[in-house]
Chains A and B, each alone.
Chain A
Amino acid sequence: MKFGIVVFPGSNCDHDAYHATKKNAKQEAVFMWHKDTSIPSDIDCIILPGGFSYGDYLRCGAIARFSPIMNEVINFANKGGYVIGICNGFQTLTEAGLLPGTLLRNKSLNFVCADIHLKVMNNSNIFTSKLKTGDIIRIPIAHGEGNYFADDDSIAMLEDEKLIAFKYCTKVGEITDESNPNGSLNNIAGIMNKGRNILGMMPHPERYSDSQLGCNDGLKIFESIAHSLK
């Protein structure tokens, strides 16, 4: 299968995503420039990578959302195409209205760069199919605006329809305030749309996809996608 990685001005995890998908998950991967007005027809899954697109000016992801390629990403996603937004990519997906809610400033006001644990809340989707519901994975975060917020109805809908992919948890899987690094409602770290073809997550699986870095828990997400779409 083939991943397409969008490069916005200010993206800085695009090459990590390329390495994780191409070298670690051993799939095809190409970069796509933000000014492109079409997406190659053989792309199976689009990655909106982490970084600081357009300097995070105005609001994170707000300007990237109007990049020329985003019209095509929205069309692709609305037709059921698979899209994963990581960190700044998640922020861009919420700004584009492809995922509900938004990411507020971290409750602590600090930029948090740390290893955290995630509980897999659901594995009946292509992004976590090679994991089990309840699995705990270790993935790094690096963000200043990762505090997931949505209105009460949206949070209830995400919970009821099992659209929360990951929650922040302790090493042994307890979902507690102490294990919540940014103040996200219900410890939410990653969510999907109703069609389950779009995933947004603040943690960086691409940064823990190579065992040389001491942990490759993130690789399971790219392997899940590759396995599901082969």
Chain B
Amino acid sequence: MKKRNFMKMYQASIQITLKKGILDVQGKAVENALHAIEFPMLTNLRIGKHVELNVEAEDKEKANALVTDACNKLVANPIIEDFKINLTEV
């Protein structure tokens, strides 16, 4: 009898940020604007990207491997960006 693979669907929530040490000019501009109004106490503002996608895989580990590969190849630029993946089964 043919073995069936039970695939599961996960939603990946990917958070992409510029690596530490890389000047985030957009973040800096927003921080300066906050300082110009009533928020001088807000510092270290960094702007990133949020990507959501669905991934079908046998288990969470395989889903994570697929999304990591996709991030390294296209979704993020590993030269300048870090990414964090959060998976939830849907």
Chain A interfacial positions (CB closer than 8 Å to B): 58-59, 62-63, 66, 95, 101-102, 104-109, 149-151, 183
Contacts and interface: CB of A to CB of B under 8 A. Distances in A.
B25 A106 contact: yes
Interface string B1-41: 00000000000000000000011011001000000000000
Interface of B: 22-23, 25-26, 29, 74-75, 77, 79-80
9 contacts: A59-B77, A63-B74, A101-B79, A104-B23, A104-B25, A109-B25, A149-B79, A149-B80, A183-B23
A180 B47 CA distance: 24
Q: Among A59, A66, A109, A183, which residue has the most Cβ atoms of chain B within 10 A?
A: A59
Given A107-B25, A108-B25, A109-B26, 11 more contacts: A59-B77, A62-B74, A66-B74, A95-B77, A102-B79, A102-B80, A104-B25, A106-B25, A107-B23, A109-B29, A149-B80
Contacts of A183: 23, 25
Contacts of A108: 25
A102 B22 CA distance: 12
Helix, strand, loop or mixed for chain A's interface?
A: loop
Given A109-B29, A149-B80, A58 B23 contact: no
Nearest to A154: B79
A104 B74 contact: no
Contacts of A63: 74
B12 to A, nearest CB: 16
Contacts of A105: 25-26
B80 A104 contact: yes
Contacts of A95: 77
A86 B62 CA distance: 39
Contacts of A102: 77, 79-80
Contact of A149 (B22, B26, B29, B74): B22
B32 to A, nearest CB: 11
A105 B23 CA distance: 10
B71 to A, nearest CB: 11
A66 B74 CA distance: 9
A189 B29 CA distance: 24
Contacts of B26: 105, 109
Nearest to B80: A102
Nearest to B49: A58
A63 to B, nearest CB: 8
Given A105-B25, A106-B25, A58 B80 contact: no
A106 B24 CA distance: 10
A121 to B, nearest CB: 23
Contacts of A101: 79
Nearest to A151: B79
Contacts of B77: 59, 62, 95, 102
A212 to B, nearest CB: 37
A106 B25 CA distance: 8
